Amino acid sequence: MNLLALDTSTEYLSLALLKGDELFTFDLNAGQTHSQIILPQIQALLRQAGMQLNDLYGIAFGAGPGSFTGVRIAAGVAQGLGFGANLPVVSVCTLQALAEASGANKVIACLDARMGEVYHAAYEKKVGVWQVVIEPGLYKPGAVPAIDGAGWAGVGSGWQTYSAQLSAVYGMQLQATQPALLPTASAILQLAQPVFAKGGAHPASEAMPIYIRNRVALKTAEREQGLRL
- For the chain, which residues make up each domain, given as ranges? 3-94+183-224, 95-178
Examine domains 3-94+183-224 and 95-178 and report if their fold is the same.
yes
Average pLDDT, stretch 189-202?
Answer: 97
Exposure string (b/e) for 63-80, b if CB count within 10 Å is 16 or more? bbbbbbebbbbbbbbbbe
What's the pLDDT tens digit per position in 68-124?
Answer: 999 999 999 999 999 999 999 999 999 999 999 999 999 999 999 999 999 999 999
219 pLDDT higher than 60? no
pTM (2 decimals)? Answer: 0.91
Give, in degrees to the nearest 5, the angle at Cα 154 between 125 and 191.
Answer: 40
What's the pLDDT tens digit per position in 29-39?
Answer: 999 999 999 99
Cis (ω within 30 of 0) for the bond into 65? yes
- Model pLDDT, residue 100: 98
Bridge partners of 27, per DSSP, are 14
19 pLDDT higher than 60? yes
- Model pLDDT, residue 226: 52
Q: Please answer whether residues 100 and 71 qualify as being in contact, where contact means their C-beta atoms are separated by less than 8 angstroms.
A: no
What's the pLDDT tens digit per position in 1-14?
Answer: 999 999 999 999 99
What's the pLDDT tens digit per position in 168-193?
Answer: 999 999 999 999 999 999 999 999 99
pLDDT interval class at 225 (50, 70, 90):
low
Quote the CA–CA distance of 198 and 91 in Å, as a whole number.
15
What's the pLDDT tens digit per position in 116-129?
Answer: 999 999 999 999 99
Architecture of domain 95-178: 2-Layer Sandwich (3.30)
Give, in degrees to the nearest 5, the angle at Cα 202 between 196 and 207.
Answer: 115
CA 184 to chain CA centroid, nearest Å: 7
Max distance between CA atoms of the chain, in angstroms, equals 52
- Model pLDDT, residue 214: 61
SS3 153: strand
- Which CATH number fits the domain 3-94+183-224, given the four candidates 3.30.420.40, 3.90.1480.20, 1.10.40.30, 3.40.50.300? 3.30.420.40
pLDDT interval class at 137 (50, 70, 90):
very high
- Model pLDDT, residue 213: 77
What's the pLDDT tens digit per position in 21-60?
Answer: 999 999 999 999 999 999 999 999 999 999 999 999 999 9
SS3 33: coil
Q: Please answer whether residues 127 and 147 qualify as being in contact, where contact means their C-beta atoms are separated by less than 8 angstroms.
A: no
221 pLDDT higher than 70? no
